């Protein structure tokens, strides 16, 4: 079973969590000013990368808070979790940092 | 046959008085069950879910009589009341049964004008009490949380999943646990705990 580090509660089993889609997608301030293509982009177009992905997760069966996570979609490894509202990190730097610290050990 | 058994049992550990001492009575494991794991339904209680920002937290702490815990997953108790941290802006407040209406009105009037949410869930929740040296092991039959004393100390509380049902686990002593769950989940959780008792009830 995966352990996911909730920014509020610490490491918890994955069964307490729910996936909530790609992170850092801001709703347009004035939707009526958008044309149809731009609105479709906001509603439906997602990055879906093979590799590092920034995602929203919810600790639904714990503190019930949303937070963000940097996850590798190939290995399912979560490199970093942080509170919602914090700026999007440089995902490559985050992963490289974690791997470098591991190789030091 | 006797020769074969004779060679097998000739060692001192299996002979004479030692053998008699090593023997367990047919009902010993049932007689010890009471102290290894005891599961009892909790008494009815007054329960509120409170949510609010910093101003509301302070006002609620004054009105309720217990400062709301700010550290994650911790409970504060006093005067037969308890405040349990559920989330960064969410607490479970419990008190003695029968005071829901008066306490609710008192808290609401103390927090008048401060943005907050206070919901009476006295009848939505039930509690189950576990005690005995096998209480943590019994919880771990259906919940993967690390319940060792170092990582889940006395006074820690958290919502989690037990089997398929959401529960609140609150450690009130080294071998004492307080479970809170929705009343419709009660029979399901009680059933799982009964299975655990068949495995862990005997000392």
**Do the chains contact at A64 and B90, CB–CB below 8 Å?**
yes
Residue A1's pLDDT band, with cuts at 50, 70 and 90, is confident
In a domain, B11, yes or no: no
In a domain, B14, yes or no: no
Number of domains in chain A: 1
In a domain, B22, yes or no: no
Chain B residues in contact with A62 by the CB 8 A cut-off are 158-160
In a domain, B19, yes or no: no
Task: Give the bridge partners for A67, in sequence order.
Answer: A57, A83
Q: What is d(CA B36, CA B193) in angstroms, rounded to the nearest whole number?
A: 13
Mutation target among B50, B71, B84, B144 for the A interface, most CBs of A within 10 A: B144
Say if A83 is an interface residue toward chain B (CB within 8 Å).
no
Instruction: Look up the CATH number of the domain holding residue B40.
Output: 3.30.1360.120
User: How much is the pTM?
Assistant: 0.84
CA distance B144 to chain A (A): 7
3-state secondary structure chain A: CCEEEECCCEEEEHHHCEEEEECCCCCCCCHHHCCHHHHHHHHHCCCCCCCEEEEEEECCCCCCCEEEEEEECCCCCEEEEEECCCCCCCHHHHHHHHHHHHHHC
Q: Which percentage of chain A shows pLDDT scores above 90? A: 96
Q: Which of A1, A62, A65 sits opposite B160 (nearest CB)?
A: A62
Q: What is d(CA B165, CA A63) in angstroms, rounded to the nearest whole number?
A: 16
Number of domains in chain B: 1
Instruction: Look up the CATH number of the domain holding residue A24.
Output: 3.30.2270.10
Is beta strand B157-162 parallel, antiparallel or unpaired with respect to B38-41? unpaired
Q: What is d(CA A41, CA B113) in angstroms, rounded to the nearest whole number?
A: 42
Q: Domain limits at A17?
A: 3-104
| Location of structure tokens 């060792």 | B148
- CB contact at 8 A, B154 and B172: yes
Backbone phi, psi, residue B129, to 5°: -110, 135
In a domain, B4, yes or no: no
Q: What is the pLDDT of residue B91?
A: 97
In a domain, B62, yes or no: yes
**Do the chains contact at B161 and A10, CB–CB below 8 Å?**
no
Q: Which of B88, B144, B161 sits opposite A8 (nearest CB)?
A: B88
**Do the chains contact at B160 and A61, CB–CB below 8 Å?**
yes
Say if A56 is an interface residue toward chain B (CB within 8 Å).
no
Q: Domain limits at B137?
A: 33-200
Could you tell me which of B124, B120, B122, B127 has the C-alpha nearest to residue B50? B120
In a domain, B10, yes or no: no
Q: What is d(CA B130, CA B6) in angstroms, rounded to the nearest whole number?
A: 47
In a domain, B26, yes or no: no
Residue A72's pLDDT band, with cuts at 50, 70 and 90, is very high
Q: Which of A8, A13, A65 sits opposite B144 (nearest CB)?
A: A13
Digit-by-digit pLDDT tens for chain B (203 residues) are 444 444 444 445 555 666 666 676 776 666 654 568 899 999 999 999 999 999 999 999 999 999 999 999 999 999 899 999 999 999 999 999 999 999 999 999 999 999 999 999 999 999 999 999 999 999 999 999 999 999 999 999 999 999 999 999 999 999 999 999 999 999 999 999 999 988 887 65
Report ipTM for this prediction.
0.89
């Amino acid at each position: 079973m995966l352990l996911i580090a909730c920014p509020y509660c610490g490491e918890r089993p994955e069964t307490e969590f729910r996936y909530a889609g790609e992170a850092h997608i801001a709703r347009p301030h004035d939707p009526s000013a958008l044309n149809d293509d731009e609105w479709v982009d906001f509603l439906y177009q997602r990055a879906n990368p093979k590799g590092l992905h920034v995602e929203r997760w919810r600790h639904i069966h714990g503190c019930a808070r949303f937070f963000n996570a940097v996850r590798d979609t190939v290995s399912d490894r979560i490199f970093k979790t942080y509170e919602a509202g914090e700026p999007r990190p440089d995902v490559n730097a985050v992963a490289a940092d974690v791997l470098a610290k591991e190789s030091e050990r | 046959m006797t020769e074969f058994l004779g060679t097998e049992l000739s060692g001192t550990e299996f002979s004479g008085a030692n053998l008699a001492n090593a023997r367990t009575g047919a009902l010993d494991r049932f007689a010890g069950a009471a102290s290894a794991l005891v599961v009892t339904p909790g008494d009815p209680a007054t329960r509120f879910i409170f949510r609010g920002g910093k101003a509301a937290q302070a006002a609620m702490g004054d009105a309720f009589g217990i400062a709301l815990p700010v550290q994650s997953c911790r409970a504060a108790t006093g005067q037969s009341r308890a405040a349990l941290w559920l989330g960064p802006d969410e607490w479970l407040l419990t008190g003695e049964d029968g005071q829901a209406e008066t306490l609710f009105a008192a808290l609401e009037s103390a927090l008048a004008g401060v943005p907050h949410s206070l919901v009476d869930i006295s009848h939505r929740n039930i509690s189950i009490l576990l005690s005995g040296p096998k209480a943590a092991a019994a919880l771990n039959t259906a919940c993967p949380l690390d319940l060792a004393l170092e990582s889940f100390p006395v006074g820690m509380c958290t919502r989690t999943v037990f089997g398929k049902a959401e529960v609140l686990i609150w450690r009130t002593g080294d071998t004492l646990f307080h479970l809170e769950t929705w009343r419709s989940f009660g029979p399901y959780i009680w059933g799982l705990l009964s299975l655990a008792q068949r495995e862990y009830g005997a000392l």
